Structure 1
Amino acid sequence: MTRRPRILAIAEAANPEWVSVPLVGWSLAHALRDMADVHLVTQIRNRDAIVRAGLTEGVDFTAIDSETFAKPMWKLAEKLRMGEGKGWTIVQAVNALSYPYFERLVWQQFGCAITRGDYDIVHRITPLSPTSASSLAGRCAKVGVPFVLGPLNGGVPWPEGFDDIRRAEKEFLAPLRRAYKLLPGAKATLDQASAILAGSRFTASDMPERHQGKILYLPENGIDPARFNRRARPPKGPLRASFLGRLVPYKGPDMLIEAAAPVLRAKAMVLDIIGDGPMMADLRALADRLGVTEQIIFHGWQAHDAVQDILCQSHVFAFPSIREFGGGVVLEAMALGVPPLIVDYAGPGELVDATTGIKTPIGTRAEIIEAFRAQLLALSQDPAQLHPLAEAAFQRVQDHFVWARKAEQVRAVYDWVLDGATAPKPVLL
């Protein structure tokens, strides 16, 4: 377009002070303000944080009060998931049932403006989950306003051989993950969307063949250069590796300690574990049992600035998680120039290539431990081999994953939808 497009950005979860999905929703919607005239529509729980970020309610954004339905449904989800931070598929299933009320209120407030053409595009950014159908897609189609959906991500199958971890995470609904396609509105949402942003190749491949021509690959995670503004400078001495994440089984901190044990005992490596969670006591006991306590620093939960300080001391980011949809922490390490060592599965496997990090095949627990052990041993003997990976990892983030670059990619999608321009080519295939 010759003028800036007018975008009604729907992001039920959008909060600059939170992490995960709310931070993605906020970051993308906010970055798009440099590319388009954006009015953000979000849930009322995000209002105060957005005001503190400098936006004006009623001008820059609108907060929708859907608490009448959202609050009791959230309490239900918390009760069903039987443990804080677990049962993610249960939460998504409940959200898929409660979210339509939010969109109903959005249409009540903005339906007339959409109908008379006040917005060139309606873009639903969050929920990221493909399980949440959208009534707005059909309403926009009826009045001739393009509807952009996504980025969507999720539904990655649990790898074989890890059913014990799946059960420990209360992921009882995971085997039924494809059932969401039978929910009312799921098919119509995809049919009526003008463009679909897929946050992962798996999500793109899991959608019907008839929609492939309007699906574009755009990983949902991004980096704010103001938050990640340093470069790693690991000190001389033994290999320094770091792990960042919630201390739960599927992220593999215990596998990492077992893999690193021989290198740690030889005093050829120091391991920083950043994060907290239900495994903390067991991980400390494991380190003691393996005789590597002196070589591991358990930092616990750390504020963002402190996380940067620790990561910037690292030669490598060691992250043997077996099921990450997005892998945001991998990007965070890369943004600091810390190359990742990861399991080649789901999100991290798509973010990392041979020029920016090291990927080990998905396999059994024993196979992952052995693969990580071999890599850590080799790196401890020659940390210099990480230098070109560190530079390439940093540059990859700058080229494709800072929020300004991602906003440019989305703007290209808007132009494609509005003007029939050539479909944007995925830059990360």
Structure 2
Amino acid sequence: MAREMTGTAAPKVLVIAEAANPEWVSVPLVGWSLARALRDVAQVHLVTQIRNREAILRAGLVEGRDFTAIDSEALARPLWKLGAFLSGGEGRGWTIQQAVNTISYPYFEHLVWRRFGRAIRAGEFDLVHRVTPLSPVQPSPMAAKCRRAGVPFLLGPINGGVPWPKGFEAEMKQENEWLSRLRWVSRMLPGRRNTLRANAILAGSRQTISDIPARHRDRVIYLPENAIDPARFWRRADHGPTLAGGPLRACFIGRLVPLKGVDMLIAAAEPLLESGRMQLDIIGDGPMLPELKARARHLGGAVRFHGWKKHQEVQDIAAECTVLAFPSIREFGGGVVLEAMALGLCPVVVDYAGPAELVTPETGYAVPIGDRAEVVAGLRAALQRCADNPDEVAQKASAARARVDGLFTWAHKAAQVREVYDWVMGVRTVRPDPMAVRVAAGRGEP
């Protein structure tokens, strides 16, 4: 049962999350986690795609009462296969996949409206909230329909559209991201204007906000989409000998693909690895694994490749480290950064896009973006500083954990969204700023 907050009855919310799956990662896990957390602050009915049905049932929700699965496979499946073919597979061509989704997703919302349109018009829901897709260019046909029905429509968090940084054209080609050069076309998509007239838009990054026309920004609220579930993380009291005279222990967690920059990380860390002052654990799999192993062969046991691991196994390895080295050059959200911070690791990231908005000077190190040589030099300097200043690393790691605990749990996220619900429904008059608490706590800008 949803609890009451701010002195008002919990609103009835139709949450649309086409991607929402407790057993997957990335966007589906974000969709599921937020939808589940919102059940503590609102009376939520989740609408999702049929592919998520069995996992949601295994998670304990009751179909019909708690959620509805919409079968849009007649269009979604062939278009998904087309997108996979055009993108080249292996996680490549993200922009191509999103372009294909702009064809299939409106059909999903068409079916949602067919199922729930009458109830929305009858006032059975206080508001409609589209959680996923996260893509900021994905039109939502239901926005205009809800407006005509007099029911508030909330969009987001949306995030994406990060331009490729200059100097990494080769990586862009390897990732089959040529379509990202044509992002301006998305501004001409049918339905975009009506979608942006939502009663409130949750934007997951500063980049996303900058892409929204100025006339809509009075309804835009900054709220990063990622968070962590404390129940999924075990915490060690301290880092013991890894901070007391031993080598710097760093890890990378993620797909082994060009945009993640693992080759730059190995090159940057090479002096420390060769001298025995650093050990590097690389957790993940991908097409670059053979190349990376060859690059690190002369470093012996200083670099360990663990391959793909289950979530708990990832934690077991990461918790033995003191630093997360995550040099991705084009990351929208950076959920892995929050997870590492929750484990008490100090993050080292590239100062570009999502991760750079999660890491403050008090909680980690952000390496300036530049060309390849400049990023390698910046990473090398940051890792050298970590190796030379273990006490500073420990302080930042402790602050990183506190920052996650105070702002980035799903329970906090749900409470932050509830403030937006109240504002949209007129319960509160002051426009919410969910991340403002970080200033009050003296943590500075994200």
Distance across 1 between alignment mates of 2:386 and 2:23: 37
Matches within 5 A, 1:28-427: 28-191=34-197, 193-231=198-236, 233=239, 235-236=241-242, 237-288=246-297, 291-419=298-426, 420-427=428-435
- Kept after mapping to 2: 8 A contact 1:234/1:240: no
| Unpaired runs of at least 5, structure 1 | none
Quick one: which amino acid aligns to residue 12 of structure 1? Answer: E
Tell me which residue corresponds to 1:13. 19
1:86 alignment partner, SS class: coil
- Kept after mapping to 1: 8 A contact 2:20/2:28: yes
Distance across 2 between alignment mates of 1:293 and 1:211: 55
Distance across 2 between alignment mates of 1:314 and 1:297: 13
- Kept after mapping to 2: 8 A contact 1:159/1:322: yes
Quick one: which amino acid aligns to residue 263 of structure 1? Answer: L
Note the alpha carbon deviations across 1:1-52, whole angstroms, 9 max, x for none. Answer: 6111000000000000000000000000000000000000000000000000
Could you say what the CA RMSD is over the residues aligned between the two structures, in angstroms?
1.0
What is the CA distance between 1:421 and its match in structure 2? 2.1
Note the alpha carbon deviations across 1:339-390, whole angstroms, 9 max, x for none. Answer: 1001000000100010110111001111111111112122212222111101
What is the CA distance between 1:302 and its match in structure 2? 0.6
1:223 alignment partner, SS class: coil
Closer/same/farther in 2, CA of residues 344 and 234 from structure 1, 3 Å limit? farther
State TM-score, norm by structure 1: 0.98
What is the CA distance between 1:130 and its match in structure 2? 1.3
What is the CA distance between 1:408 and its match in structure 2? 0.3
Distance across 1 between alignment mates of 2:175 and 2:311: 26
| Unpaired runs of at least 5, structure 2 | 1-6, 439-444
1:184 alignment partner, SS class: coil
What is the CA distance between 1:234 and its match in structure 2? 5.2
What is the CA distance between 1:316 and its match in structure 2? 0.7
Note the alpha carbon deviations across 1:247-301, whole angstroms, 9 max, x for none. Answer: 011101110000000000000110000001111111111112xx31220110110
Note the alpha carbon deviations across 1:86-127, whole angstroms, 9 max, x for none. Answer: 000000000011100000000000000000000001000000
Runs of 4+ in structure 1 off by over 3 angstroms are none
Tell me which residue corresponds to 2:441. none
State TM-score, norm by structure 2: 0.94
- Kept after mapping to 1: 8 A contact 2:90/2:286: no
Distance across 2 between alignment mates of 1:37 and 1:146: 15
1:230 alignment partner, SS class: coil
2:232 alignment partner, SS class: coil
